[in-house]
Structure 1
């Protein structure tokens, strides 16, 4: 059994995915496969230069061929896979359901929902064989996908795609006795995606730094267990400052 923990992170060339890759790679005994549309991205070249345990792999959301090839590369290079962080996602449109083009729904569901399914199907054999005996499949989701804690933020295409992805997380927990499958809301983060959402609601930028979000996300993933974590939906942290983007809950309802 390898003493290293092997991670696959999607959408790893920028934003949350990049900082997740960088942070995990700085830990001892880790191997990080950074999934991205463009594995030659300068950000990843720079990361590899300082962290040779990072391996960029081409991985396009919902594209079976590239997902299968990425996992084959992980098998060849590391021989195991212990943690998958499904981070790749888009939020390209804000507006009421009645005027949102159907093409936007298709695009968001393709990337944010089908992307999660294709990723798991590609990774499942290697992931479920993790020598840890407790493999982790973590979805970077969004509180916009919560139905019971619905917030009207004009994100019908995005929110519905995340609600569907959350269902996948719940089903994977039920279907796989060893798998720790969880969804995590990263907060209203100052990434390209988050800042686009912020300007859509009249803010200059999103209020949470990427570094803070990543620390919160990893606090949920590190040490996650089947009993305490799997089949559940968590905020990056509980916040109670009274701001409208706060999640003053220990767990987000589906």
Structure 2
């Protein structure tokens, strides 16, 4: 069993994705591949200049050719893949269902749902062969996709696409017993998407979850996800309930 861990994080040139990459590259015995639509973004190139264990990759969510090419590069450079954090996503429209353009459903499902399918299909052979013996596929979920504890964000296209990505985690859990597949709610953080949701809820930035806490909490969940018993589940990023309306009162969230 190898003590070296190879990560792939998608949607990594800003927001939560960039925060995850920046935290992971400081660890010992890791190689981090940062998938992004624009891998030449200053946020990634500056970080890679400081950390030779970081490799930015051209990887647009849902683009089959780019996903295949990215996985070939990972195989060539690292020879293994142990953890995928599927973070890439868009939230480009907020408004009532009745006025939501149908094109928005196509765009959100292409990136947020089909994107994870394309990613897993491209990565599955290398990922399932992980020398760790416990390969992990992590979906960064969303409060907007909750059904069991629904919160209204006027985001039908985004929310339905994320609910579907959550569903796919259950599918992976059933179809691949050797894979640990989970979704993680990252909190409501001040990213572009988070700020839009906060505006709808009438929240100020000070009322949102700090980015640092979100990143630390997500990685705590990723690190802990090492047994089959943890697979096929949806977790909040933090183990203590903060009293915010968008929080879950338990570690595990109702899908």
Fold shared, TM-score > 0.5 on shorter chain:
yes
How far off is 1:223 after superposition?
2.8
Shift of 1:2: 4.6
Question: 2 CA distance for matches of 1:144 and 1:104?
Answer: 15
Aligned length: 254
Q: Structure 1: where are the runs of 5+ without partners?
A: none
User: What residue ranges of structure 2 are gaps of 5+ in the alignment?
Assistant: none
Aligned to 1:20: 20
Residues 207-233 of structure 1 show CA distances to partners (whole Å, capped at 9, x for unaligned) of 112111010001111031333320000
Q: What corresponds to 2:83 in structure 1?
A: 83
Deviation at 1:246, TM superposition (A): 2.2
Deviation digits for residues 139-198 of structure 1 (CA, Å, limit 9, x no counterpart):
001122121222222121111001110111110010001000000000001112111221
Q: Which residue of 1 aligns with 2:225?
A: 224
**Counterpart for residue 163 of structure 1:** 163
Following superposition of structure 1 onto structure 2, how do residues 89-108 of structure 1 map, counting pairs within 5 Å?
89-108=89-108
Aligned mates of 2:231, 2:130 — CA distance in 1: 16
RMSD value, Cα: 1.3
Superposed, 1:126-137 pairs within 5 Å as: 126-137=126-137
Q: Given the two structures, how large is their TM-score scaled by the length of structure 1?
A: 0.96
1:23-38 matched pairs, under 5 angstroms: 23-38=23-38
Distance in 2 separating the partners of 1:247 and 1:223 = 19
Task: Return the offset for 1:237.
Answer: 1.2
- Listed as ranges, the matches of 1:6-85 within 5 Å are 6-85=6-85
Q: Decide which moves more: 218-227 or 17-26.
A: 218-227
> Does residue 254 of structure 2 align to residue 253 of structure 1?
yes
TM-score by length of 2: 0.96
* Offset of residue 243 of structure 1: 2.4
Instruction: State the shift of 1:239 in Å.
Output: 4.5
Cα-to-partner distance string for 1:36-83 (whole Å, 9 max, x where unaligned): 011111011110111110000000000000000000000000000000
SS across alignment from 1:222 = helix
